Amino acid sequence: MVNGYALSSKVKIGGKSFFVDKLTMFGTALLILMAGAFFVGCSGGEKLSESRPALEPQTTLRISGAGGTTRVLKLLADAHEHKHGGLDFEFLSGSGSSGGVKGVLQGQLHLGAMSRLPKEKEFTGGIKYHQFGQDRVAVVTSADMSISNLTSQQVKDIFLGVITSWSEVGGPEVRINILVREEKDSNTKIMRKGIIGDGPFAVGSVTMTSENDTKVAMATATNTISYLAYSGVRIEELPVHSLALDGQDPADPNSAYPLESRPLGVSYLPENLAKIKPFLDFMITPETQDLLAGRGIGPVENRAEARN
């Protein structure tokens, strides 16, 4: 743990990169040292005839913030490593967009992952912002449900408790379980603006405190409806169904899906620009944008508003 963050870092095994926590890395290193001692003993203490060249130091970028955006940044970090190298990454979990900005301003983070545009007071505090994509919010059901399409009115009535059984929308005669996020969450704000309105969530709805917790719960839930960042569903291949709404498929970037997309970007301090610029530039190359599009992430439509 570093200042309340859970720390993960990237290691290479067989030419592939993986993000693992520091405790796992310590255990792995211990096993490697033990194995090395064993083989040296078996070879009679012979020394290698050639010494390995010293590794060039790498710039390490420390990143945390919004959970969904952090997951996308891990995808981009792996892609950057395979394409260019020269950067190492440490991902610290569990702080949200606001926590990411706070970590940047306190010098704990190089990049704050954000799923919203910065507030005016955050810009005034000294951060800069770089947007690299936009991500749809999708209504999802647990894997046991066979329903593939609902109307916006049906979704509203479910989340407000007017519809309580799946049989009322063409499903089985079972009670609808509902998972929601807290009111300050960007996904909840998008759901309220696009479909639900200001009414209270249905009695019995369960409020999740993070995107990751919602994903974990939905992976094993039954008879359940919720909403998630569509990119997370695609990247992690979650066992859920992303619903078409009013006949509009969230997988189609040209569809008139009734929920707006949320911006994906990072906050940073100007004094760190030299360190982070190679990664920022990589995020918006045509090749990287194609990679993101394959995971359901759209291009930035108006970069000027981000004040980069």
- pLDDT digit string (tens) for 143-194? 999 999 999 999 999 999 999 999 999 999 999 999 999 999 999 999 999 9
DSSP-assigned letters across all residues of 86-147: -EEEEEEES-HHHHHHHHHHTTS-SEEEESSPPPHHHHHTT-EEEEEEEEEEEEEEETT---
Partner residues linked to 21 by β-bridges: 8
- How far does CA 67 lie from the centroid of its chain? 5
> Between residues 272 and 30, which one has the greater pLDDT?
272
Kindly report the average pLDDT of the chain as a whole number: 84
The predicted structure's pLDDT at residue 254: 85
The lowest-confidence range among 13-22, 229-238, 240-249 is 13-22
Give the model's confidence band at 36: pLDDT under 50 very low, under 70 low, under 90 confident, else very high.
Answer: very low
Contacts of 10 (CB under 8 A, 6+ apart): 17, 18, 19, 20, 77, 78, 81, 88, 89
More confident residue, 154 or 6: 154
Query: Is the pLDDT assigned to residue 26 strictly greater than 50?
Result: no
Phi-psi group of 189: left, alpha or beta (phi > 0 → left; psi -120 to 50 → alpha; rest → beta): alpha
Confidence of residue 17 (pLDDT cuts 50, 70, 90): very low
Question: How confident is residue 20, by pLDDT bands cut at 50, 70 and 90?
Answer: very low
Q: How many CB atoms lie within 10 A of CB 206?
A: 14
Per-residue pLDDT for 51 more than 60? no
Residue 304 has pLDDT above 70, yes or no: no
Contact between residue 295 and residue 142 where contact means Cβ atoms under 8 Å apart: no
Spatial separation of the C-alpha atoms in residues 167 and 255, rounded to whole Å:
28
Q: Is the pLDDT of residue 195 over 50?
A: yes
pLDDT per residue over 237-294, tens digit each? 999 999 999 999 999 888 999 999 999 999 999 999 999 999 999 999 999 999 999 9
Report the pLDDT averaged over residues 216-240. 96
Over residues 73-91, the mean pLDDT reads 95
Task: Please name the residues in contact with 222: beta carbons below 8 A apart, sequence gap of 6 or more.
Answer: 142, 144, 177
Domains and CATH numbers, the chain: 6-34+57-135+263-306 (3.40.190.10), 136-261 (3.40.190.10)
Q: Which amino acid is at 61?
A: L
Question: Helix or strand or coil: residue 296?
Answer: coil
Give tens-digit pLDDT for 204-217. Answer: 999 999 888 999 99
Alpha-carbon dihedral sign for residues 277, 283, 286, 287: positive
Query: 307 falls in which pLDDT band (50, 70, 90)?
Result: low
Lowest mean pLDDT among 6-15, 48-57, 131-140, 194-203: 48-57
pLDDT tier, 118 (very low <50, low <70, confident <90, very high otherwise):
very high
Q: Which residue has the tokens 């906050």?
A: 267
Virtual torsion, Cα 235, 229, 210, 206, nearest 10 deg:
-120
Task: Identify the weakest region by mean pLDDT among 117-131, 156-170, 294-308.
Answer: 294-308
- DSSP-assigned letter for residue 306: G
Q: Which residue has the higher pLDDT, 228 or 5?
A: 228
Q: Let me know: does 144 contact 219? Beta carbons within 8 Å.
A: no
Q: How far apart are alpha carbons 86 and 158 in whole angstroms?
A: 49
Q: Which residue has the tokens 């255990």?
A: 27
Q: How far apart are CA 259 and CA 234, in angstroms?
A: 17
Query: Residue 264: what pLDDT?
Result: 96
Q: What is the pTM of this model?
A: 0.74
pLDDT band for position 8 (50/70/90)? low
Number of Cβ atoms within 10 Å of the Cβ of 95: 24
Please give the Cα distance from 268 to 127 (Å, whole number).
5
